[in-house]
């Protein structure tokens, strides 16, 4: 059994408080009765008053409160065990987080556009495993291979140029690190989706792609940016303070390099697509995934937990409904039992 909202268990402390209030009220009533007159005489004035019924009402209310609290906690019980088999491929997303990706020639920026594309691609995946790599002048592992898409999206949104201390764009480092995510001996299909503006400031991207091809890894490259290019805004609290400048104090104009990205994709018999149109990118990736052989990579026992709160809430309302009909007068069968030695 597992509990969804354990914090509501603290409400169980209300039960002893209710009991204390009841006995305090009982004490206060007795005290007032003594002030009114002799207790035996007072009892004779109300012969139909039951000692048992108030205790029964208290018990019913306590049970109802306990059931309501347990209902809020929402206990879940594993009702069955089933074998889950997954078929899919391993996909690594390598996202360029260099400063050139802050250029806004693609709205809202190249980096934000890249995040949107990856997020939308994840949305249309089935049971594929995914990992995320960030890279600039060097590559950085963001998320290992997982099937938890919600966690992947969370890590994706946190990506920024501050993640990588070494600036520039080293596509070969991104490919090399991504290849370590895959098990070379595994028969599972391997795909790297590399998103960048293609401004590679290192050598060896094509060589790295050829090495990746040897372990059966395909690479799809997505170009983000424009060939006309754009400036790199330097912001503080969301406000542009200045623009990135080179060693000659000239404003840097960063441009999309599609040819470099196409060469990387070609080396692994993958493909390249320009990332301006999200719908076209999604359709392209979808078709590519359909043409990649999927393999069974996981078989696990999973408990199917089902919420049980409705039973507790329903029983609580039933008890509260019954409480309405529990008058504090004696009933015939209670009189006959004489539980509290009320007969004299």
Is the pLDDT at 243 greater than 60? The verdict is yes
Residue 18: pLDDT band (50, 70, 90) is confident
CA-closest candidate to residue 181, choices 229, 142, 213: 142
Is the pLDDT at 207 greater than 80? The verdict is yes
CA distance 100 to 197: 8
CA distance 272 to 263: 9
Mean per-residue pLDDT, 3-28: 83
Is the pLDDT at 343 greater than 90? The verdict is no
Q: Would residue 79 count as lying in a domain?
A: no
148 and 293 part of one domain: yes
Q: Dihedral sign, CA of 315, 317, 323, 324? A: negative
Residues in the chain: 344
Q: What is the model's pLDDT at position 329?
A: 52
226 and 260 part of one domain: yes
Q: What is the model's pLDDT at position 74?
A: 81
94 and 10 part of one domain: no
Neighbouring residues of 231: CB distance < 8 A, sequence distance ≥ 6: 103, 104, 243, 244, 251, 252, 253, 254
Residue 340: pLDDT band (50, 70, 90) is very low
CA distance 167 to 230: 18
239 and 135 part of one domain: yes
pLDDT tens digits for 129-184? 899 999 988 888 999 998 889 999 999 998 988 887 777 778 899 999 999 998 87
Higher pLDDT residue, 63 or 46? 63
Residue 305: pLDDT band (50, 70, 90) is low
Is the pLDDT at 304 greater than 80? The verdict is no
Mean per-residue pLDDT, 85-109: 89
Beta strand 271-274 with 217-223: parallel, antiparallel or unpaired? parallel
- What domain range is 150 assigned to? 84-299
Q: Would residue 110 count as lying in a domain?
A: yes
199 and 257 part of one domain: yes
Q: Would residue 7 count as lying in a domain?
A: yes
**Is residue 152 within 8 Å of 146, Cβ to Cβ?**
yes
212 and 232 part of one domain: yes
Burial of 157 (0-12, 13-18, 19+ CB in 10 A): exposed
Q: Dihedral sign, CA of 65, 67, 71, 73? A: positive
Preceding amide of 262 cis, omega within 30: no
Q: Domain total for the chain? A: 2
Q: What is the model's pLDDT at position 50?
A: 60
CA distance 110 to 103: 6
88 and 24 part of one domain: no
159 and 264 part of one domain: yes
Q: What is the model's pLDDT at position 11?
A: 86
Residue 42: pLDDT band (50, 70, 90) is low
115 and 211 part of one domain: yes
**What CATH code is carried by the domain that includes residue 240?**
3.40.50.410
Q: 42: which 2 tokens?
A: 């007072």
Q: What is the model's pLDDT at position 77?
A: 72
91 and 222 part of one domain: yes
Mean per-residue pLDDT, 14-31: 84
Q: Would residue 343 count as lying in a domain?
A: no
Q: Would residue 225 count as lying in a domain?
A: yes
Three-state DSSP state, 108? coil
285 and 333 part of one domain: no
Q: Would residue 12 count as lying in a domain?
A: yes
Element (H, E) at 25: helix 14-36
170 and 257 part of one domain: yes
Mean per-residue pLDDT, 228-252: 84
Q: Would residue 344 count as lying in a domain?
A: no
CA distance 140 to 59: 61
Burial of 218 (0-12, 13-18, 19+ CB in 10 A): buried
CA distance 177 to 194: 12
Higher pLDDT residue, 150 or 81? 150
CA distance 60 to 67: 11
């Amino acid at each position: 059994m597992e509990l969804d909202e354990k914090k509501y268990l603290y409400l169980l402390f209300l039960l002893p408080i209710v009991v204390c209030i009841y006995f305090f009220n009982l004490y206060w009533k007795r005290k007032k009765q003594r002030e009114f007159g002799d207790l035996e005489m007072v009892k004779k004035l109300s012969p139909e008053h039951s000692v048992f019924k108030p205790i029964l009402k208290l018990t019913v209310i306590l049970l109802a409160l306990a059931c309501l609290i347990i209902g809020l906690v929402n206990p879940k019980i594993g009702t069955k065990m089933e074998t889950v088999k997954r078929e899919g491929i391993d996909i690594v997303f390598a996202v360029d987080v260099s400063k050139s990706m802050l250029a806004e020639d693609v709205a809202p920026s190249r980096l934000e556009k890249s995040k949107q594309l990856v997020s939308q691609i994840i949305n249309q995946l089935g049971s594929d495993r995914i990992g995320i790599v960030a890279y600039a002048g060097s590559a950085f592992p963001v998320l290992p291979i997982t099937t938890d898409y919600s966690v992947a999206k969370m890590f994706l949104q946190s990506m920024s140029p501050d993640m990588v201390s070494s600036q520039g764009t080293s596509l070969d480092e991104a490919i090399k690190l991504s290849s370590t995510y895959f098990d070379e001996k595994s028969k599972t299909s391997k795909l790297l989706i590399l998103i960048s503006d293609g401004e590679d400031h290192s050598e060896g991207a094509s060589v790295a792609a050829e090495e990746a091809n040897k372990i059966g890894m395909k690479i799809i490259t997505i170009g983000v940016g424009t060939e006309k290019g754009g400036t790199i805004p330097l912001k503080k609290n969301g406000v542009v303070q200045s623009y990135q400048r080179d060693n000659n104090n000239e404003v840097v104009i960063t441009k999309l390099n599609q040819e470099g990205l196409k060469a990387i994709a070609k080396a692994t018999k993958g493909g390249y697509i320009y990332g301006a149109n999200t719908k076209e990118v999604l359709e392209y990736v979808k078709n590519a995934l359909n043409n990649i052989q999927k393999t069974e990579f996981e078989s696990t026992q999973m408990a199917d937990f089902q919420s049980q709160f409705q039973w507790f809430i329903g029983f609580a309302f039933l008890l509260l409904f019954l409480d309405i009909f529990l008058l504090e007068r004696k009933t015939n069968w209670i009189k006959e039992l004489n539980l509290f030695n009320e007969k004299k």
